[in-house]
């Protein structure tokens, strides 16, 4: 820190009055002896201010608890200004001046520990004038107005005292007060207090910023944990419902259809009418088609179809190979996933890719499809594009049969990511989504 200096011909801040006539030479200037003494006094004050600044810096870097910090600093300041006692007094939220622990030189039972002095920005009392106006009149080594204030609040053993404003930028934290100097206080002492108070105000601002940052970090960690929980919920969302539906479909509807087929076979065996036999054959064919349709539905909704035990890349490759074999769509694959993706992210990526591929197979009439993936901005980005017939995006987002598009967008957004769908009739389609990984 740089030490504030005063020009050689000026008094320290807070000084008032003029030089004594007997000390002036014929030209109105200080005599050489008085000039030397003034220079020596100024140099001494500057050296003391430098020590105060160094103490603030040293105690702060030691990462002391605030009471210990203020106790050590108050003791150092007391030595620099020749005071027997020093205290930092801060403004409470109610606008009262109270003790900032720990003062130097005050016993545990001192009335200063219960101090409550009203200090308002527009007040005319000495406390308000010191804090908000930095006004201090020193006569005969003390501020009489301050001495009266302390006595009024129970601190009756004060020989002399001074106090200066304790600022933090444009804000006023309180005051720094010194008590009981054997030689009496001077304007130089008040200047040293101001330097110490300003430096301590910077420390106070830094500690406040640290605390605010800690709170922000804590809230951010809570938000990240909540988002991760949401991500896990979204990743597993619907699986239990699908499992129950698949179980009911397999154990109830398909079993009933199988029983119906067996009964129908027995009826046909017992029938001797060709006309009835033909009708029964047609009914058996219909039942078979219904059963096949339900089994395809079972394969689609079963959560086991989303199992990633083979790994995300392999699961996507297998799904694309199935698409190529059954639909004749050529595939182009470029998968550059980050290492060690969270399981929830892998599951959501696979679900969105599978949804996109299902839409291509059902609606696009495409001959080629491309799936590409890579790391981007702390997450994973995936693109699924095809050369099919395309569609009007806004129309398809809310019509039956295309709810998968809306599901993909909602799944990515709930995970803290995004999803874009680009398509035009006759121009193919592209689905691109991004999901954060931490």
Report helix angle 187-236 to 66-81, nearest 10.
170
Q: Quick one: 312 and 290 in the same domain?
A: no
The answer to whether residue 9 sits within a structural domain is no
Q: Quick one: 275 and 292 in the same domain?
A: yes
Q: Quick one: 66 and 28 in the same domain?
A: yes
C-alpha span between 213 and 427 (Å, rounded): 50
Q: Quick one: 350 and 398 in the same domain?
A: yes
Calculated CA dihedral for residues 238, 239, 244, 246, nearest 10 degrees: 110
Q: Quick one: 323 and 417 in the same domain?
A: yes
Q: Which position has the token pair 């938000």?
A: 223
Q: Quick one: 135 and 84 in the same domain?
A: yes
Q: Quick one: 37 and 92 in the same domain?
A: yes
Q: Quick one: 292 and 193 in the same domain?
A: no
Question: Of 186, 193, 194, which Cα lies nearest the Cα of 142?
Answer: 186
Q: Quick one: 246 and 281 in the same domain?
A: yes
Output the domain CATH number for residue 369. Answer: 3.30.565.10
- Backbone dihedral angles phi then psi of residue 275, each to the nearest 5 degrees: -65, -45
Which pair of structure tokens corresponds to residue 321?
């190979």
If you average pLDDT over residues 71-94, what whole number do you get?
89
| pLDDT at residue number 344 | 82
The answer to whether residue 332 sits within a structural domain is yes
Model confidence band, residue 56 (pLDDT cutoffs 50, 70, 90): low
β-strands 429-436, 418-423 pairing = antiparallel
The answer to whether residue 218 sits within a structural domain is no
State what percent of residues in the chain have pLDDT above 90. Answer: 26
Per-residue pLDDT at 3 exceeds 50: no
Model confidence band, residue 41 (pLDDT cutoffs 50, 70, 90): low
The answer to whether residue 1 sits within a structural domain is no
Domain of 261 in residue numbering reads as: 237-305
The answer to whether residue 411 sits within a structural domain is yes
Model confidence band, residue 7 (pLDDT cutoffs 50, 70, 90): very low
Last residue within a domain, chosen from 249, 284, 305? 305
Q: Half-sphere exposure (CA, 13 Å, Cβ side) for 275?
A: 0
**The pTM of the whole model exceeds 0.85:** no
Q: Is 410 helix (H, G, I), strand (E, B) or coil?
A: helix
Question: Which span out of 46-55, 97-106, 265-274, 277-286 was modeled with the highest average pLDDT?
Answer: 97-106
The answer to whether residue 295 sits within a structural domain is yes
Q: Quick one: 202 and 274 in the same domain?
A: no
C-alpha span between 424 and 394 (Å, rounded): 10
C-alpha span between 373 and 313 (Å, rounded): 10
Where is pLDDT greater, at 44 or 155?
Answer: 155
Question: Of 316, 323, 377, which Cα lies nearest the Cα of 350?
Answer: 316
Where is pLDDT greater, at 283 or 80?
Answer: 80
The answer to whether residue 15 sits within a structural domain is no
| pLDDT at residue number 38 | 52
Give the other-Cβ count within 10 Å of 64's Cβ: 15
If you average pLDDT over residues 105-120, what whole number do you get?
91
Last residue within a domain, chosen from 261, 279, 305? 305
If you average pLDDT over residues 244-273, what whole number do you get?
68
Q: Half-sphere exposure (CA, 13 Å, Cβ side) for 192?
A: 33
Which pair of structure tokens corresponds to residue 297?
């539905």
Give the other-Cβ count within 10 Å of 275's Cβ: 8
| pLDDT at residue number 419 | 92
Query: Cβ(416)–Cβ(393) under 8 Å?
Result: no
Spatial CB neighbours of 5, under 8 Å, sequence gap ≥ 6: 46
Output the domain CATH number for residue 171. Answer: 3.30.450.40
Give the tens place of pLDDT for each residue, 375-396. 998 899 999 999 999 888 877 6
Last residue within a domain, chosen from 305, 339, 363? 305
Pick from 281-295, 384-398, 403-417: least confident: 281-295
| pLDDT at residue number 16 | 41
If you average pLDDT over residues 360-382, what whole number do you get?
91
If you average pLDDT over residues 189-206, what whole number do you get?
83
The answer to whether residue 200 sits within a structural domain is yes
| pLDDT at residue number 15 | 41
Handedness of CA 122, 128, 130, 136 (dihedral sign): positive
Question: Of 152, 155, 145, which Cα lies nearest the Cα of 163?
Answer: 145
Q: Is 24 helix (H, G, I), strand (E, B) or coil?
A: strand
Pick from 121-130, 242-251, 406-415: least confident: 242-251
Q: In total, how many domains does the chain have?
A: 3
Tell me the average pLDDT of the chain: 78
C-alpha span between 128 and 122 (Å, rounded): 7
Q: Quick one: 44 and 94 in the same domain?
A: yes
CA 414 to chain centre: 19
Model confidence band, residue 409 (pLDDT cutoffs 50, 70, 90): confident
| pLDDT at residue number 299 | 54
Pick from 52-61, 174-183, 351-360, 421-430: least confident: 52-61
Give the tens place of pLDDT for each residue, 291-348. 666 665 655 555 444 455 678 898 899 889 988 888 889 999 999 998 888 888 888 8
Q: Quick one: 351 and 403 in the same domain?
A: yes
């Amino acid at each position: 820190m740089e030490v504030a200096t005063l020009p050689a011909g000026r008094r320290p801040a807070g000084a008032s009055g003029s030089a004594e006539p007997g000390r002036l030479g014929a030209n109105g200037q200080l005599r050489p002896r008085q000039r030397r003494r003034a220079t020596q006094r100024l140099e001494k004050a500057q050296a003391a201010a430098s020590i105060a600044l160094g103490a603030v810096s040293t105690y702060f870097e030691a990462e002391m608890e605030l009471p210990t910090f203020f106790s050590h600093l108050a003791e150092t300041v007391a030595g620099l200004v020749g005071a027997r006692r020093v205290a930092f007094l801060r403004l409470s939220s109610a606008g009262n001046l109270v003790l900032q622990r720990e003062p130097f030189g005050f016993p545990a039972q001192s009335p200063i520990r219960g101090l409550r002095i009203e200090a308002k920005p527009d007040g005319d009392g000495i406390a308000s004038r010191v804090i908000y106006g930095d006004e201090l009149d020193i006569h005969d080594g003390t501020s009489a107005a301050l001495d009266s204030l302390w006595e009024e609040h129970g601190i009756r053993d004060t020989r002399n005292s001074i106090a200066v404003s304790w600022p933090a930028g444009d804000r006023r934290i309180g005051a720094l007060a010194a008590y009981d100097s054997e030689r009496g206080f001077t304007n130089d002492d008040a200047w040293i207090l101001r330097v110490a108070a300003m430096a301590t105000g910077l420390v106070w601002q830094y500690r406040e910023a640290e605390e605010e940052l800690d709170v922000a970090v804590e809230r951010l960690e809570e938000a990240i944990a909540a988002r991760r929980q949401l991500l896990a919920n979204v990743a597993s969302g619907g699986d239990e419902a699908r499992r129950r539906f698949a179980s009911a479909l397999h154990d109830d509807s398909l079993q009933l259809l199988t029983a119906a087929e067996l009964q129908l076979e027995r009826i046909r065996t017992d029938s001797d009418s060709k006309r009835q036999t033909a009708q029964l054959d047609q009914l058996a064919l219909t039942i078979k088609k219904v059963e096949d349709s339900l089994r395809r539905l079972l394969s689609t909704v079963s959560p086991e179809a989303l199992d990633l035990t083979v790994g995300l890349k392999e699961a996507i490759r297998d799904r694309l190979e199935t698409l190529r074999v059954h639909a004749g769509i050529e595939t182009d694959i470029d998968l550059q996933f980050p290492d060690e993706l969270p399981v929830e992210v892998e599951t959501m990526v696979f679900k969105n890719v599978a949804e996109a591929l299902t839409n291509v197979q059902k609606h696009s009439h495409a001959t080629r499809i491309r799936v590409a993936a890579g790391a981007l901005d702390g997450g994973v980005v995936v693109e699924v594009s095809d050369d099919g017939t395309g569609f009007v995006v806004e129309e398809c987002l809310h019509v039956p049969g295309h709810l998968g598009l809306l599901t993909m967008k909602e799944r990515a957004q709930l995970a803290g990511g995004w999803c874009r769908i680009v398509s035009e009739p006759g121009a193919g389609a592209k689905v691109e989504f991004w999901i954060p990984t931490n």
